[in-house]
Amino acid sequence: MKRSNKLHAKSIQKFKHQTWLNFEGVERSYKLHMKSIKTFKQQACFIHWQKDASSELFKR
């Protein structure tokens, strides 16, 4: 009985560790994803701004 309890506790610990690692990985990839979205938005805004600026120049 005791031995199976120990094994059970070990497997629970292992499982917790794996889920924690998975969670950290998901969180990290999510942060990277948000970062890339932010830079993409900034780039898009910049390109948009450049287009506006160039059209303003052409109007003159």
Instruction: Show me where the domains of the chain are located.
Output: 1-60
Task: Write down the pLDDT at residue 1.
Answer: 64
The predicted structure's pLDDT at residue 60? 61
Whole-model pTM over 0.75: no
Report which secondary-structure segment, H or E, holds 1: none
Residue whose token pair is 């780039």: 43
What pLDDT digit, counting tens, does each position of 2-59 carry?
778 888 888 888 888 888 778 888 888 888 888 988 888 888 888 887 788 777 776 6
Number of H helices, E strands in the chain: 1, 0
Measure CA of the first residue to CA of the last residue in the chain; give whole Å.
Answer: 88
* C-alpha of 28 from chain center: 5
Among residues 57, 37, 34, the alpha carbon closest in space to that of 45 is found at: 37
